[in-house]
Amino acid sequence: MNISIGKTEQFSTKIILVSGEEARDIRDFDGKKHSITLRYKDEETRVYVSVGEEYTFDSCLNAAAAAVRRIVDLKRESVSVLVPKASCLTPVVEGALLGAYRFEAYKSEKKSCLKTLEFVGSDLAEEDMEKARIIAEATNYSRDLVNKNAGEIYPDMLAQKARELGKKHSALSVTVLDEKDIEKQGLNLLYAVGKGSPTPPRLIIMEYTGNTDDEKRSAVFGKGITFDSGGQNLKPSGSIENMRLDMGGAGAVLGIMKALCELNVQKNVIGVIPAAHNAIGRDSYFTGDVYDSWSGKTVEVLNTDAEGRLVLADALAYCKATYNPTEMIDLATLTGAILVALGDTVSGLFSNDKTLAARLFTSGEAVSDRVWELPIRDEHRKAMESDIADLRNISKIKRNAGSITAAAFLENFVSHTPWAHLDIAGTAWNDSEPRGITPKYATGAGVRLLVHYLTQ
């Protein structure tokens, strides 16, 4: 997409953001938040979109997205977007590029012809536009990775994507452990989960060095299950169809690293992806068996479908010991239960550190990539104790607190490092119609949240 800033509009198709109050002057327009009306005059098309009562980051973001989505449906090639005030440029650019997103790789006829967006207003800063573009494009990049076929995005393909980023950016160095390294190093949980697949597991580590004088470094982890069949605890029809989404965390981490590189952020961040295909077959790992994790803690696997926590456990413990990060944040499509608890617009947040949790919440509100904290208490920790091993991978509490007990399991592998776990199983995927910046299918949840958090 070509984007630019202009002082007067060049194109005959225009998007105009209006407040609810301004909308009342437009004939037969109710001006409800994010509603749209089209007006035609000679060659000109005006797309009015209401931001609701006020021009906020959230209202401009989603209004711009809704209007641009409509423009794409109208098959326009070039559009001028009128920016109501300079402070709205960031959300308008971000919203416009997120709303323009279409996943058409598997359509024989491409529908989208939008090529040029011009943002019109006074005192608009090129730098704001550029930053917003990088963040939106990183989100769309992550969406593409998650939307693509599971047969196309297998663990080593995620490694190739990481290497591709490493080649482009000198500040990013990429290390990949293949299945032999994984076995030799004793990352037995990751090895076990990936064992049943002809596409073997990988541990992908991306080290971004943006400030050599800074001793601090954050680590972000993304669950990279390229397809989750459930393994021997095979998922039934109705639950399995979308399971290529299960690398949503990994897709987000790749997007985050891409954005950090392009924004030239002066921080040090490690991106880590334990990647595996949780397959069913002759070589799958066994329900009921005990596996020895990298940390030394043994795990009774009572359900091979609770595989995300297993691959993350090894990744968290191994990276903590190897890179000693100052904080660790993981993104994972970990539990169906989080969709029941929080729905598909808010991700679950779990943490052992109040300050980290509060800062993540603030970032989520700032960029409309929202999180809500749930507790981890001793009763949840107790529910993950095994009689035959140190831990079990599913809770003793039946059908209760599934997201919390999953987080309680992960907590065993982070020692005392400030850690936060984001359960994005509800937010990474949208089964319904597009709304605002959220398209159908992969949403890119977590990218904008963590880019904001890491650049604060």
Interacting residues with ligand BES (CB under 6 A): 228, 245-246, 303, 305-308, 333-337, 394, 402, 425
DSSP string of 192-209, one letter each residue: HHHTTSSS--EEEEEEEE
Q: Are 301 and 308 in contact (CB under 8 A)?
A: no
Pick one of Zn ion, ligand BES, none as the site partner of residue 455 (Cβ within 5 to 8 A by kind): none
Nearer Cβ to Zn ion, position 94 or 307? 307
- Cβ burial 392-416 (10 Å sphere, 16+ → b, else e): bbbbeeeeebbbbbbbbbbbbbbee
Distance in Å, CB of 440 to ligand BES, minimum: 15
Would residue 131 show up in a list of annotated catalytic residues for this protein?
no
CA distance 189 to 183: 9
Distance in Å, CB of 230 to Zn ion, minimum: 6
The dihedral through the CA atoms of 230, 191, 410, 443 has a sign that is: negative
DSSP string of 91-149, one letter each residue: HHHHHHHHHT----TT-SS------EEEEE-SS--HHHHHHHHHHHHHHHHHHHHHHS-
List Cβ neighbours of 161 (8 Å cut-off, separation of 6 or more): 145, 254
**Per the residue annotation, which of 148, 309, 392, 448 is the catalytic one?**
309
Distance in Å, CB of 101 to ligand BES, minimum: 21
Distance in Å, CB of 226 to Zn ion, minimum: 10
Write out the residues near Zn ion by the rule CB under 5 A: 225, 228, 246, 305, 307-308
Would residue 359 show up in a list of annotated catalytic residues for this protein?
no
Taking residue 12's Cβ as centre, other Cβ atoms within 10 Å add up to 15
Nearer Cβ to ligand BES, position 128 or 246? 246
Nearer Cβ to ligand BES, position 182 or 337? 337
Nearer Cβ to ligand BES, position 135 or 279? 279
**Per the residue annotation, which of 46, 85, 235, 381 is the catalytic one?**
235
Pick one of ligand BES, Zn ion, none as the site partner of residue 325 (Cβ within 5 to 8 A by kind): none
Distance in Å, CB of 335 to ligand BES, minimum: 4
Measured in whole angstroms, the distance separating CA 185 from the mean position of its chain's CA atoms is 29
Nearer Cβ to ligand BES, position 246 or 327? 246
Nearer Cβ to ligand BES, position 231 or 436? 231
Distance in Å, CB of 29 to Zn ion, minimum: 45
Pick one of ligand BES, Zn ion, none as the site partner of residue 425 (Cβ within 5 to 8 A by kind): ligand BES
Q: Are 196 and 231 in contact (CB under 8 A)?
A: yes
List Cβ neighbours of 192 (8 Å cut-off, separation of 6 or more): 285, 291, 301, 310
Taking residue 427's Cβ as centre, other Cβ atoms within 10 Å add up to 28
Nearer Cβ to Zn ion, position 118 or 228? 228
| CA dist list (Å): 146 to 198, 234, 370 | 20, 21, 20
DSSP string of 53-104, one letter each residue: SS--HHHHHHHHHHHHHHHHHTT-SEEEEE-SSGGGHHHHHHHHHHHT----
- Three-state DSSP class for residue 281: coil
Distance in Å, CB of 311 to ligand BES, minimum: 10
Fill in the DSSP letter of residue 402: H
- Catalytic center residues: 235, 309
